[in-house]
Amino acid sequence: MATESDGEEEGKLIGGNQQLVVDDDLREMAKKAAWSVSSCKPGNGVLSLCDDNLDTYWQSDGAQPHLVNIQFQKKVKLQLVVLYVDFKLDESYTPSKISVRAGDGFHNLKEIKTVELVKPTGWVYISLSGNDPR
């Protein structure tokens, strides 16, 4: 899930929220984007990543880093990225570090946020704006 607005900082997130809570003033943007992944195991690709079913998931299959690319047709300002992770189900495939990069194209991406996850389980909120209390 991606939502609209900008920011920069590094942080650590421990755990996650079991219930997805997103403010009413934010707008869902994920379905307006083209999604791709660097690699995947058969049956665990982009469709499993974006299907709104917590029982399905993306599972990478290849050398690191593992990437999820989200491209919009026009410029958007993202404020919040929300993802569901569950360390208890599969610690070997649960991300421990997430880098959010933005740019006008694939070849000029700049890192705008890095987050380390420590045994996360549940919804993880990655704020891309400096004023989000989460």
Q: What is the pLDDT of residues 34-74, one digit of tens each?
A: 999 999 999 999 999 988 888 889 999 989 999 999 999 99
The answer as to whether 10 is a domain residue is yes
Distance separating alpha carbons of residues 98 and 126, to the nearest angstrom = 9
Give a yes or no: residue 51 inside a domain. Answer: yes
Question: Of all helices (H) and strands (E), which one includes residue 47?
Answer: helix 46-49
Q: Is residue 45 domain-resident?
A: yes
The CATH number linked to 7 is: 2.60.120.260
DSSP letter (8 states) at residue 108: G
pLDDT tens across 79-111, in order?
999 999 989 887 788 888 999 999 998 889 999
Q: What domain count does the chain have?
A: 1
Q: 11 is in which domain, residue-wise? A: 2-127
Residue 36 lies in a domain: yes
The helix/strand/coil state of 72 is strand
